[in-house]
Structure formats: structure tokens, C-alpha cells
Structure 1
Amino acid sequence: MNIVQCKMARVALGWGTRDLARNAGVSPDTVARFERGEQLKDATIPALRTTFEAAGIEFIPENGGGPGVRSSRSQT
């Protein structure tokens, strides 16, 4: 997961940085630092990604158009 995918996933879920932080068990500052491109502990990015995946986000690898995200759950 890269910075842009993190932001895209938050928007897809309607989450702010505090929502992601609460769900991932990290501080809001940690999320902000990641999205600014700062260094984090090795376990932090996988924790954020796992949180998004549990919420129904799929990460799309770069395939010529750049990496992306999509919701794996139907919107009702």
C-alpha cells in the first residue's frame, strides 16, 4: 500500500485520519505521518492495510494506470 492508496481507501470508506487510526489501533499522528511520506515502524503499514481489507477494501497493483483501490463490498 502506498500513500495515494491509503488516501483513496479512506475516501472510499468515508473515513478521516482519526477513523483509520481508531480502527487500526494507532494514533492519528501516525496516519498523518504515513500520508506525508515519513518513516514508520515496520509493522504499521501492514496494520493499516489489514484494517482497510477488513473493512472491504481491495488493493489493485499498478497495471499501467497506477495502483488503486476498490471496495469489495456492494454499496446498498
Structure 2
Amino acid sequence: MLTAAQLRAARALLGLDQKTLAERAGVSVPTIQRMEASPGNVRGVVESLTRVVQALEAAGVELIGEGTESRGHGRGVRLKASAGPSGSAPVPGDKSDHG
């Protein structure tokens, strides 16, 4: 499943705005907006979601599912499993939370 955070991150990595992604996927801008505003996993019409995923993959993004190894060799980002509810993981060497 694709999460809203993955969708936003993939679009950012490609330097695409919502309009361009919508055009490439053959969906409307409000569809992209709704997908990106979804809490957790993106919800919506399966065909629209499939088109968006295909457009992102055709543009060069590898969408990595939780617990799945990456097939690619390019650069990218991945959220750590230990990330907190805000989506932020502790920064190594950061002592700001130690009083």
C-alpha cells in the first residue's frame, strides 16, 4: 500500500508539482490532493491509485513497501521503523532530549 507521505516524498524527489503528476497519471489535481491528504494509506479508486503509482515509477521512483528490500541502486530515502508518531526519528548525536 502507498501512504500519503510516500506519495508526497516521491513527488518531491522528482521535483513534480501536483498538476504535473496529475497530468502524467491521467487523473485530476483534486484526486492527487485527496490522496496526499489521506491519513496513513492512500484511499481512493484503485484505477486512479494504479495510474499514479505507474506515473511515479515511470518517472524513476521506486516505491518501497514496509519490510521490503529495495531493488534499485539509486539514491533515496526511507523512513526508519523506529520513527515516532510524528514521523521523525532521533538524530544520531542529538542530545537535546537528554535534559
Tell me, yes or no, whether TM beats 0.5.
yes
Unpaired stretches in structure 2, ≥5 consecutive residues: 68-78, 82-99
Q: Which letter maps to 1:4?
A: A
Which has a greater percent of strand?
A: 1
For structure 1, the residue ranges without an aligned partner over 5 or more in a row are 67-76
**Aligned residue in 1 for 2:19:** 18
Decide whether aligned partners of structure 1 residues 29 and 57 sit closer, same or farther in structure 2, where only a CA change above 3 A counts.
same
Length-normalised TM-score, structure 1: 0.77
Q: Which has the larger Rg?
A: 2
The 5 A counterparts of 1:1-76 are 1-37=2-38, 39-63=43-67, 65-66=80-81
Bigger relative contact order, structure 1 or 2 (CA pairs below 8 A, ≥6 apart): 1
For normalisation by structure 2, the TM-score amounts to 0.60
Aligned length: 66
Identity over aligned residues, as a percent? 32
In structure 2, relative to structure 1, the CA distance for the partners of 1:60 and 1:39 (3 Å cut) is closer
| AA matched with 1:33 | R
